């Protein structure tokens, strides 16, 4: 792969839960193993070192195949902000940046999620192919995060995750 482009994805969600609880849902393996890139009954590994420079890893088994998501914590400002890297080595050697910002609002917590998505270019691509790939990466990432955030909302607000895999 010769080049890559970056496209930002921004999503905002409100949870009827305090910022500290939402922050913890991103860092506590017993919680993130139920919604982050995985489902409770398909999760194989959920580990992390929640400190700046520390790593995190999730392995989810779907239809007999393991999917691995890994990254490093770049910034941890409890309970306001998390900045971390995100990689799925089985698909690409690219690294994305995730920025999770939390603020208290009357309804609970407003979470602003940003992903700077790295889109690798294939040999010979022109502007049209690059534009199409950027849109596809954006839309598929948004779809996946939306499902995960629905599970996070259910976990935070009811203690149940409707997406059990």
Distance CA 60, CA 144 (A): 14
Domains and CATH numbers, the chain: 4-158 (3.30.530.20)
Phi-psi region of 124 (alpha: psi -120 to 50; beta: other; left: phi over 0): left
Residue numbers of the chain with a pLDDT score lower than 70 = 1-2, 160-165
Helix axes 127-158, 19-27, angle to 10 degrees: 120
pLDDT of residue 161: 57
pLDDT tens digits, one per residue of 24-71: 999 999 899 989 987 778 889 999 999 999 999 999 998 899 999 999
Q: 32-48 burial, b for 16+ CB within 10 Å, e for fewer?
A: bbbbbbbbeebbeebeb
Using a cut of 0.85, tell me whether the model's pTM lies above it.
Answer: yes
Q: Tell the residue number behind the tokens 């799925």, with chain if given.
A: 88
């Amino acid at each position: 792969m010769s080049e890559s482009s970056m496209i930002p994805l921004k999503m905002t969600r409100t949870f009827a839960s305090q910022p500290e609880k939402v922050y913890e849902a991103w860092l506590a393996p017993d919680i993130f193993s139920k919604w982050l890139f995985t489902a409770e009954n398909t999760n194989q590994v959920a580990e992390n070192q929640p400190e700046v420079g520390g790593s995190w890893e999730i392995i989810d088994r779907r239809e007999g195949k393991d999917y691995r998501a890994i990254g490093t914590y770049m910034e941890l400002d409890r309970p306001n902000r998390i900045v971390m890297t995100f990689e799925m080595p089985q698909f690409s050697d690219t690294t994305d940046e995730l920025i999770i910002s939390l603020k208290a609002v009357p309804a609970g917590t407003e979470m602003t999620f940003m992903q700077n998505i790295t889109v690798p270019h294939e040999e010979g691509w022109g502007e049209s192919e690059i534009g199409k790939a950027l849109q596809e990466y954006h839309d598929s990432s948004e779809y996946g995060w939306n499902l995960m955030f629905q599970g996070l909302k259910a976990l935070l607000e009811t203690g149940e995750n409707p997406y059990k895999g």
